[in-house]
Amino acid sequence: MSGTDDALYERLTAFVGRSAASAGTGKDPVNLPMIRHWCEAMGDAHPAYGGPDAVAPPTMLQAWTMGGLSGHTARSSAYEELFALLDGAGYTSVVATDCEQEYLRPLRPGDEIGFDTVIESVSERKTTKLGTGHFVTTRTDVRAGGELAGTHRFRILKYAPAARPDRKPEPRRPRPVVNRDNAGFWEGVAGHRLLIQRCGACEELRFPWLPGCNACGSREWDTVEASGEGTVYSYVVMHHPSFPAFDPPYAVGLIELAEGVRIISNVVGVPYDKVRIGMPVRLEFLRVDEELELPVFRAGGED
């Protein structure tokens, strides 16, 4: 780094360890309606999240600390001061990059939530495809009844956007996020196989892929290959906005496979305005560029 960069970085690291929120309290106690709405949105029907002995899904940890549109009075000025310093140095854009959570005890309806947030780290200047900037990580300790229930680390990148080349590259479809939980699915797609997870304990089929069974909680699983037969369970026609590499209008279907699970994909082979609920479709694989192949579903013909 240059001398100017060194001086800025020294000022940035002075914020490490400073409080971003102190003695914050959740706007609501842990409660069953919020748990129910979360589970409905996520499609998670695990019995542990309902009934008289319900617990909250662990991944709701951050939800209980969020301030909503009115914000939190517990926030300190340190985070805004840090952002102002980065803005002043030209790092005016921001993007969330990842979060990490650790769960220490389950949260139950009635738990009153308290939390404290600190600025845990500020990286040296980094260059990414988006541009050059600094990663900022905050850590929130979430408590229930004074007992530490979990931690939530949230990382953003404050950056100066990279200069755009004069000639725009050909737009490409967004890349799927491949991780350890779904890598097997994409390996199957590469081999022109649509693989469905099957629980090793209760044999429940599930899609999309998950690290554990949402019916019985078992982490054991294998796969079955879909036959490729399905029907349009529901669909939408995308008109706007027009994303790069997509040519609206086009139909996006929720396809019910013969095996009983559902998958979101494009419906091809008929005009977008001819797609109908209950229409039979058949799996095929569409190469959209030199790197990416996707499962799509072809309808038999027009009405």
Q: How far, in Å, CA of 65 to CA of 53, rounded?
A: 22
Q: φ and ψ at 203, to 5 degrees?
A: 65, 15
Is-contact 302 251, C-beta < 8 A?
Answer: no
Quote the pLDDT of residue 2.
58
Quote the pLDDT of residue 264.
95
Is-contact 231 255, C-beta < 8 A?
Answer: yes
What DSSP letter does each residue of 238-287 carry, written as one string?
E-SS--TT--SSEEEEEEEETTS-EEEEEEESS-GGG--TT-EEEEEEEE
What type of residue is 118?
V
Quote the pLDDT of residue 139.
96
Quote the pLDDT of residue 6.
84
Quote the pLDDT of residue 303.
41
Quote the pLDDT of residue 240.
83
- Domain spans, the chain: 3-161, 183-299
Q: Is 228 left (phi over 0), alpha (psi -120 to 50) or beta?
A: left
End-to-end CA distance of the chain, in Å? 65
Q: How far, in Å, CA of 105 to CA of 111, rounded?
A: 12
| Average pLDDT along the chain | 91
Which of the residues in the chain have pLDDT under 70?
1-4, 165, 167, 301-303
Quote the pLDDT of residue 164.
74
What CATH code is assigned to 3-161? 3.10.129.10
Q: What are the residues whose beta carbons fall under 8 Å from the beta carbon of 92, sequence distance 6 or more?
A: 86, 158, 160
Quote the pLDDT of residue 95.
95
What type of residue is 113?
I
Cα angle value 298/302/303 (rounded, 5°): 130
Q: How far is CA 163 from the centre of its chain?
A: 28
CB-based burial, 162-186: b 16+ in 10 Å, e otherwise: eeeeeeeeeeeeeeeeeeeebebbb
Quote the pLDDT of residue 100.
93
Please name the residue ranges forming H helices in the chain. 3-13, 32-42, 78-88, 183-190
Helix axes 78-88, 3-13, angle to 10 degrees: 170
